[in-house]
Structure 1
Amino acid sequence: MNKRLAAVIIVIVAFLGVAFFQTSKPQTAKKQYIPTVGILQLVTHPALDQIHKGVVAGLAHEGYTKGKIKIDYQNAQADQSNLKTMSQKFANENADLTVGIASPAALSLAKTADGQTPVILAGITDPVGGGLVKSTQRPGKNITGTSGDSPLQQHLDVIKEVVPSAKKLGIIYTTSDHGGEYNAKKMATLAKSQGYDVKMYTIATTNDMQQIAETMAGQVDVVYAPQDNGVASAMKTLINVTNQEKIPVIPAVDTMVKDGGLATISVSQYDIGYQAGIMAAKVLKGKNPATYPVKTITKGVPVVNEKQAKLLGITLPQSLVKDAESKGEVIK
């Protein structure tokens, strides 16, 4: 065998050996992509906390459990500058999707996203009027989610049933809360049409509640506290004042009844968040938010506070109590 042929054979054998070694190496599994979801909550209070829990549960239901998703939860504690900073934090982290709990949080996320990153609304009242979506059926651009409109006629029916002698209805809301103002004004129109003398009261921040509540308690027979983040956060202050004057408060949601409200028909805040979580998961999987209709949740259950009724010397209708026992909740 000549030297040239031997050299060729050596090269071929070496090549085959390298090829065999490469193909026989174990193949490493492709690393699974883990999406990042930013959740921005306006402030800490029980209703919004329930929405947050629901969002996480809804994501988990669709397969986004621990290890398969990164959730960055931020709470602005009612500070507008925090909302802006936290929204920008999500943008800097290239979050795949963000979730806004309460209108100010959703608005901040929408502004920062600027029509790009998907934004999921979690229980936002009147998202069309708030400038978040074009319509509930075809939201447009990058935003969709859930809306938790209050069953206002049912709330008024509770007032009629629980405080039948009431003529003067006080309604209090926060001037910076679009959802609260929307619900308050709709209730005012509804109550006036059904014979109530309606008096409107506003707070700019929770710090105003003590003074405004003291004024209101001396001028009305019953108070309606709408689904409003500022009012919900200051609910205990409101109740401390109204209790001194034996004025009942009919609030919008169960968490506000637990803080001293008398009774309501409550839409589950957890369910609102849960549906938002499911919608967020479907958008992560490719669903287009621009054509994904906003889901409006209005079905509620009765909730009564027997302890508060006893304190105020009010006898709750047995039919309402029985409904609460079988379908909702009785706070004793």
Structure 2
Amino acid sequence: MNKRLMSVISIIVIFLAIAFVTTNRTQKNKQQVPTVGILQLVTHPALDQINKGVVAGLKSEGFVNGKTVKIDYQNAQADQSNLKTMAEKFANENADITVGIATPAAQSLAKSANGQNPVILAGITDPVGGGLVKSNNRPGGNITGTSGESPLASHLNLIKRVVPNAKKLGIIYTSSDHGGEYNAKKMQALAQKAGYDVHMYTISTTNDMQQIAETMANQVDAVYAPQDNGVASAMKTLVGVTNKEKVPVFPAVNTMVKDGGLATVSVNQFELGKASGIMAGRVLKGKNPATYPIKFITKGDMTINTSTAKTLGITLPDDIVREAENKGEIYK
């Protein structure tokens, strides 16, 4: 065998060796890219903002979708059977970590994960009461995340400042929404202690809102709409009724003010989601969810709707308007 042929063979062997190593390295890198499953209950501006925040939080921890992480986003569109199917999909495909946006989504993920792969809560109102963790300080299993518990005392104070003569307060929530009921009953206790005559109303689905709102608007001076996915989805229907009767609605989050509510002190939903994304990234890096405390986000910003105020014939106090201008949001 001549030297020239030997050289050609050597070059081919080296080339094949490099190609083999490169292929193995590429396959290994692909295998190392984790999968994050995000399950959202329904399309709604507040929940959509949480989802965007989750993605941003993961990115801040070095997990960029399509590069260093694969994000599989699923939306159940408020269908319980969809929640079950989508959560099982993540479990069957062995997603490295899942994120639940809204309590029903988180509960479905927790059940499907069965104590195995980590589940991150994104703005869940009552993690302990929802059966998701043993305690907020030491969750004790495969689940941790954030809680966006509403600043209820601030909401009640806002109602007093805007409509000081209101005596009868209506509170509406969805009977199947654990977080909504939790917030509604806590507000009921606060309002009754403050001297309000509180009337409680429930809807089973968004289809009930028109009829319940018509009844409520004729019985109360003001309405409180808690952080509740069903009420949030039917917010435009609610205010369509109450505005005609000149009854102001004070919702829990800024997106509900955008949909026609009068005013609120709102936790930023994007920042809430971002905090969950950061926690998800740290768990992917090895942090143990069992000893990773639930992070509570309760600080809110003033949000007002000047168009709704005009419709209702209400003049918002100057200090509230200034606060919204300087630190919050104004919808017109």
TM, length-normalised to structure 1: 0.93
CA 1:24/1:117 → structure 2, altered by over 3 Å: closer, same or farther?
Answer: closer
Q: Deviations over 1:242-266 (max 9, x none)?
A: 0110100000000000000000100
CA RMSD in angstroms, aligned pairs only: 1.6
Please say if 1:55 is aligned against 2:59: no
- Counterpart-to-counterpart distance in 2, 1:277 and 1:301: 21
Alpha-carbon separation, structure 1, partners of 2:71 and 2:302: 33
Aligned to 2:174: 174
Match of 1:73 in 2: 73
Task: Report what 2:269 is aligned to.
Answer: 269
Moved segments of 4+, more than 6 Å:
none
User: In the alignment, does 2:29 pair up with 1:30?
Assistant: no
The 1-side partners of 2:142 and 2:16 are apart by 47
Indicate the SS of the match to 1:245: coil
Shift of 1:24: 9.6
Look up the match of 1:319. 319
1:135 aligns with 2:130: no
Superposed, 1:279-290 pairs within 5 Å as: 279-290=279-290
Q: Could you report, residue by residue, the CA deviation over 1:68-93 in whole angstroms, capped at 9, with x for unpaired residues? A: 11111111111100000000111121
Larger Rg: 1
Give the total of aligned pairs: 316
Deviation at 1:25, TM superposition (A): 3.9
- Whether 1:112 and 2:107 are equivalent positions in the alignment is no
* CA distance in 2: counterparts of 1:243 and 1:312, whole angstroms: 6
Tell me the residue number matched to 1:6: none
User: CA shift at 1:30, angstroms?
Assistant: 2.0
Matching residue of 1:45: 44
75-84 vs 21-30, greater mean Cα deviation? 21-30
Q: 1:253 is matched with which residue?
A: 253
Report deviation, 1:21. 4.9
* Counterpart residue number, 1:8: none
TM-score by length of 2: 0.93
CA distance in 2, matches of 1:141, 1:315: 50
CA distance in 1: counterparts of 2:185 and 2:319, whole angstroms: 29
Alignment correspondent of 2:152: 152
Paired AA for residue 249 in structure 2: V
Unaligned segments of structure 2, at least 5 residues: 1-5
The one-letter code sitting in structure 2 at the alignment partner of 1:41 is Q
Aligned-residue identity in percent = 72
